[in-house]
A and B are shown apart, each in its own frame.
Chain A
Amino acid sequence: MKPLLIPALAILLAAPLTAQTPAAPPALAPETAAALDNLTGRLLIHGQAYEYDRQLADGIGPRLTGSANYVKAVDWAVAEFTRLGLKNVHREPWTIPATWEPETVGTASILEPHLQRLHLESEGWSPSTPESGIRGPVFHLPNLNSADAIRAESAHIKGAIILIDSDSRNSGEPAPEGVTYQNHKLLAELGALAILSGTGTTQNAVSVGGPWDGAILPLPTAVVGQEDSLLLRRLLATGPVTVEFSFKNRIREHVSIDNVIADLPGRDLPNEIVLIGGHLDSWHPGTGAQDNGTGAASVLAIAQAVTASGRAPRRTLRFALFGGEEEGLLGSQAYTRAHQADMPSYDAVLITDTGSDAPKGWMTLGRTDLTAALAPIKPLLAGLGADGISNYPRIAFGTDDAGFLARGVPALVLWTSFDKYMALHHKPSDTFDKVSQRDLNLGVTVVGLTAYAIADSPQPFAPHLTPDQVEDLMKKAKIFDEFDDMRKNGWLY
């Protein structure tokens, strides 16, 4: 999942809201119900999601978009979809402005008031520092969210290394992603030397983030561990602080990246599509076992189980593994742009990208008609503990549903417990040992049976929204500013 600049706690607080059903959708056909029992058993008793995630996380390793490991993962997924007997298995390329990989480990020290090592790594998609490193005074930016507040600090910013931490982000009104992006550029214009992002976590470990559009960041940007970040703040309270740091990154421009697509053609309505997707790329400090090894593995495991069940649903199930999610949902955006004309034939899009904690249900992004359309399978999800509905709106632009959502396609994102998600998110601890086999497979089952039920229904899942209706939805969910900002930046269409 791509981080948004909002506290993770908000996700935990998002209460399950049960929408009122306007008119009851038809009950499941007996044949569909029997197929769902069978599919559920296949996923729970013989499901391979855990094994797929192990292969991805331990066998292939971290999968930075465009890296050799990412390409390996693409090859592996193509081979597996083919082996399973899916149709139309292919890669769909798109171009990322830049790929990025660390070439050296970050080294850093406090030089004054005393000499001390800093725990620091390059932020994702940061340019390298000069060979000799970057050296300068630290300035803690009190407010990152307003251009005026930043300009007011111009004198301090020029020639300084700018420390940005949660206090900087939480001052003033929370800004849409694009504004934060512009404000980072502004720091470069005002002559800042570099940025120190105090977004690390405890044990002085890093928690990386990245660009908004797959382009290299305007300034050398480092992530510093939490304890070091707090130390810098304390030292700054008593006097000037000078630091030095250095890292080298391998950057290539305009690189072709592949999404992976595979189909299980529909029995009756092969031209109508229910898409099950998740991103294949990951960050590099861990192995992306949770983000999004579990989601990518789920996509493959469902393909395996439905194929083995021998009964394709009415509509085509399309399995999609996207790249570039961590750099701005790039793979799914490229996909929705390339398939713009086909969007009316997409009955629903189901995205899995919330880790391996136990499933709770679906995030319907404020669309109460989706909640109503899920009613026939809600009783079946109760035994999996996943009959809940979350209207948590900010997920809208947090993963690969965004491009579909903006085009009015009914989109669902798997809702899971978040007990350990943020403790691992983009950190060195996002490794296979954290994955609960039971919880992962419960989540896989929820996605598989929901997708199958939608694809096997005699009628469409839910209407497609007009552009006006999409705007209304965004307003109702109080995310219109974010939506509008992304739209204006060209990140959605």
Chain B
Amino acid sequence: MSDSPSGEVVLVRWGEIFLKGGNRAFFERRLAEAARRALAPLEGARIERLHGRLLAWPGPDDPGALRALRALEKVFGVTSLSPARVVERKLEAISAAAVELARGEAARRGRPRFKVETRRSDKRFQPTSPEVSRLVGAAIVGALDLPVDVHTPELTVGVEIGTEHAFVFGSSVPGPGGLPVGVTGRVELLLSGGIDSPVAGWLMLKRGCELGATYFHSFPYTGDHTKEKVIALARKLAAWQLADVRLAVVPFTDAQKKLRDTGDGRLAVVLYRRMMMRVAERIARASKAQALVTGEALAQVASQTLENLTAIGAAATLPILRPCLGHDKLDTIAIAERIGTYETSILPFDDCCSLFVPEHPITKARLDDVLAAESKVDVAAIVDACIAGVETIVCSA
């Protein structure tokens, strides 16, 4: 990262928020709140709202704003970030900063072909944007004799002119995109220690959902190392939520035993999953979540056929969102690696001795068979017992 761009401030840009018409102000406010939470651990750092941009001022311990930049890269809704110089709203000052920036770039990479791009959020500023670009470009040519290339530049010198300051920057880094967390509603994630469910949660966070998580713990068949691993995953999600994740740990062993004892062991996984949906739904409704989220991918394992997903989904009244449904495993792994959950997910403390799962589970569960099996147990009592045993853990980033 020795080439990390540095600056006095970070310009924060967003994208899709513009599409949301009347909600725009609300979305912008949520984005600014999220950015403030992202910067909260950095002493002295602050967010300033500009017209159509956010401006992040780093703290005194963060020269070059590199730490602020890293923190803001986790704010959903942000499309790109640029470390920038802050200069007076005067053409001479802008040109001088642009020349200095281009000089540094020229020293690093020869004679880059360049262009200047200007944006005025304060349209009262004169001259116009194209004219500013032309004048600043001329200053760079005059000082450094760099070749101009407006179509395929190797260096783009950005100029933004706001109401109080102007900004000059040489590069942008991508943000995570998506929407600020919390603008689309709240969901309850069924979180396991595997690779898929943390990614499913992250994808919903990215679409602006606030997240709670439910984990089903089968002690003593699963040890507490697995629980710790799930907590670690919830903490990773908290880092993207920019707020604590409430994790509900549900003791599930008794439920599994009762369901297993209904007879056909090949139905067991479908019966477990249906029970999980019911329990998660109760937890979801209590926290005002509007949907359940799972990491299921179509046909990835036996319980994830269309028939079984249908039988599982029939147990829930809330919608079940499956953002990984169309993923190949490698797609999900690629995201898991990017968001930092993969290394935790592959720790060897998974459902080590899944005693109650048969070698060949049914792939096309018939709802009639499922309902017949469930008629042998008191479903409501099982759900109540699960809810009564819930341990709530607040997971911080």
Partners in one complex: no
